[in-house]
Each structure stands twice: as C-alpha cells, then as structure tokens.
Amino acid sequence: MLFNIKASLEQLIARHLPAVNSAGCHFTPVAGLTGESWKIATPTVALLARIQSADKSALGVVRTREKAILRHVNTLNIAPRVRLFSAPWLVVEWLEGVPYDEALFGQPASVPALAVLVVGLQRLAPSGHRLNLPQQFSRYWQQIDRSRLTPDWLRLQRYFTCHPMPTPLKLAVLHMDIHAGNLIQGRTGLQLIDWEYAADGDIALELAALFRGNNWNQQQQQDFLAAYHQAGGYQDRLRLQQQIRRWTPWIEYLMLMWFEVRWQQTGDKRYSDWAQPLREQLFTRTVTDKQDNRSRRA
C-alpha cells in the first residue's frame, strides 16, 4: 500500500510539476509510515504532499476545503502556499523555519506573537466553508466502538447533534488545531501548518479549542486574552469569556469523539486513555445538569 501511494505521488509530480521532477526528487514519508503525507525534496525546493485517505475522510478532513482555505489566507503569510491540487493529492510548499519550542508555548513571553497571529486570522473574512459540528459528531458516531456506548453517551450525542450551538460573536476562518507542534518560526514570523481541520466558525470557538486542547490553566488563558485584547482582537472581554465557556463542552466532546475514532483506526491505547477523562467529565456534567433540572422543577 505504501509503495502504491508513493508511486501515485511520483506520477503526479512527473505529470504536473515536471520542472520539480527533473530537478531530482527525494520522497520521504512524514510523521511515521502512514503514507498520508510526504515531503518532496529537491536541490532548490521542498514541498509537502497530503493525500485524501480513507482515515482522513473519516475524521472530517477534506482536501478541497483545505486547499480553498489556504488560498483564502494566502495574503497573511502565515500558512503554506498551495502548489498543486489533483485529487486525491494536495501539494503545498514546505515551510522552512525553526520548530516552535513546546516548553515556551503558553508562557508569558510567547503569548503576544501568538495573539497577533490569531487576531490577524480573525480579521480575515470567512472563506465560505462553514464548520458543521453536529455533522462531524454524526460522522464520528458511526465509527466508534459500539461496545463502549452507554445511555449517558447516547444522551450526550443527542444533545450535541440536536441542541442549537451558541450564536456566533463573529464568523472568521478558524485553524482549529493550534498547538506547539503546528507552529513554525519562519522567515516572515510565526506561521501555522496543518490546516486540515480549518473552517469558518465563531472566533470564540477557536479560543475554546486553543485553551482546552492545550490544557491551559486560568493564568495562561488570562495572559493570552490580555495579549489578544492588546493586539486588537474582540474587545468585549467579558462577553468573549462567556462565549468561550459556552463553547468549551462542544470542544471537549469534539476531542472525545476524535480520540475514539483514532483509537478505532490505530488501536493505539493512548487515544482511549486520552478520551477517558473527557468522557468522565462530560458524563458527570450530564448527571449534574439533570439533578439541577430536577431541583428547579421541585
């Protein structure tokens, strides 16, 4: 399978990027041997090729959407530029730079630059590719281990697929996967890679994903919001914080379902281990909410 994917990529480059091909290409799988992403290195240029695999489709990744959003944010110089799209392949430039120091992520000295990046992205008009979380939850639901389902989980699924989402404060392009591993200190400043989950959505949803996905404590969150405000982000800080809290359970459920699907795809127990505390927290909140509702009716 790995050989066939590589052969497909070699044929693609030879057909559509003959100058790159004639320069002498070296193909290297990225992030393990999944065969889903490949670095294409030549003496003069480096590219990254990403395939629309079955596993990626199951996770909600759509390369046509990724291509459109990368072109939409092109003027910001914070993302790789698209070099070629020919289904099932998306080929983008390989961003050169220094990998972000994970130990610095979320620390006071690093927050201002990240806040400027996020505010710049949120100033951009929506791309026209709206994030549909209920649809994403329904897709994930079809792929999780049926033996793990419980009545409480079914109630959660019904809530997150049927309950109205928070009314957006402002729609903008969201990256939806900002963490140290997706940041590069490039020639033009701080840049983001891995835009496969990017879509349009509420600006507070991006911040909820940033805070919860990276397990930032209250001080880290407040440091970021102060820098975000200073950089010209959404100015009603109280309203923004309230909206972030509204979105946090949706992010937690998204994380839970993503971990469950990845566990099914890979068999890697780390994913089920990461899912467990989220499951317990969401189930506990469900029980608490039911008890509160009973108390109010009494």
DSSP bridge pairs for 191: 184
Alpha-carbon distance 32 to 54, whole Å?
17
- pLDDT tens by residue, 186-241: 888 999 999 999 999 999 999 999 999 999 999 999 999 999 999 999 999 999 99
Asked if the model's pLDDT at residue 297 lies above 80, the reply is no
- pLDDT tens by residue, 24-48: 788 888 875 455 889 999 888 899 9
- pLDDT tens by residue, 45-72: 899 999 999 999 999 999 999 999 999 9
User: pTM value?
Assistant: 0.91
Sheet strands side by side (includes 82-86): 26-29, 37-41, 46-51, 89-93, 82-86
The lowest-confidence range among 39-43, 121-125, 264-268 is: 39-43
The SS3 call for residue 25 is coil
Place 6 in a pLDDT band, splitting at 50, 70 and 90. Answer: confident
**What pLDDT is attached to residue 49?**
94
- pLDDT tens by residue, 219-230: 999 999 999 999
Which of 127, 128, 126, 40 has the alpha carbon at shortest distance from 89? Answer: 40
Asked if the model's pLDDT at residue 129 lies above 70, the reply is yes
Structural domains of the chain sorted by starting position, each given as residue range(s) with its CATH number in brackets: 2-94 (3.30.200.20), 99-289 (3.90.1200.10)
